[in-house]
Amino acid sequence: MEIIAITSFKGGTAKTSTCLHVGSALSLYHNKKVLLIDFDAQANLTTGLGFDPDEQDSMAVVLQGEKPIKEVILKTAIKNLDLVPADAWLERVEVTGALAADRYSHERLKQILKPLDYDYIFIDTPPSICWLTESSLIAANNSLICATPEFYSVKGLQRLSIFIDNIAQRHHLSVMGIALSFWYPRGKSNTDFQKVIESTFPGKLLKSKIRRDIAVSEATIYGQPVFKTAPKSRASQDYKALTLELLEKSKCKTALH
């Protein structure tokens, strides 16, 4: 079972869209059994799949020991794609109830996920370095980092690199790749941005880039991925290519072990 934390140091990097579409593509086109975990209190992944976060239990009740995880997993409209939704409680879950007194609370998510039976689990983390992000990285064996070809996004990768390295010293964690979104092929600073990424995460920049496409925003209105609402769009093509690249990386890693 591959557990991948999708991370970013800042908002606006298409982190949630990447989580939704890579997970959906694996289910739709590669017959994989996938669980998406919305671990961000903004709950954009939850609404992006057509659910109301105010009407669902999130991972918060599982972390607090009030419910087993199987009771909060939702079936989506896509075959073999399940979701653990988010809610506002997640934002302060680590300082409430059972977690507040647990000095090893960061380890709890990892233990919760161990018994599950999926090919892939993707955790959509908040766009910051916080308890939720740290718990996700500890639970994961890979991190997929999202960025945009912009100064603040690329500079934020350097701080994220230090954070991930610190966790990797204590837990089995590696960076699967850096996914660039809102890509404009003729951008004047593309080469410079890619050089900074290469110096921070050598060899990790993925070949597949996600071009800017209004079809992604429109798909959110319908609570479905672009593969369903705009199958011929640029975003649909790009996310299929990204998913295939990540799948190949996953296969190579498995073969090495």
CATH number at residue 156: 3.40.50.300
Phi–psi pair at 40, nearest 5 degrees: -120, 125
The residue range of the domain holding 160 is 2-256
Which pLDDT belongs to residue 255? 44
What share of the chain has pLDDT > 70, as a percent? 97
Residue 246 near residue 22 (C-beta atoms within 8 A)? yes
* pTM for the whole structure: 0.94
Q: What is the pLDDT of residues 194-235, one digit of tens each?
A: 888 899 999 999 999 999 999 999 998 999 999 999 999 999
- Amino acid identity for residue 97 in this structure: G
Q: pLDDT band for position 252 (50/70/90)?
A: low
Which pLDDT belongs to residue 96? 87
User: Which single residue is written with the structure tokens 């506002």?
Assistant: 88
- Per the structure, the count of domains in the chain is 1
Q: What is the pLDDT of residues 11-68, one digit of tens each?
A: 889 999 999 999 999 999 999 999 999 999 999 999 999 999 989 999 999 999 999 9
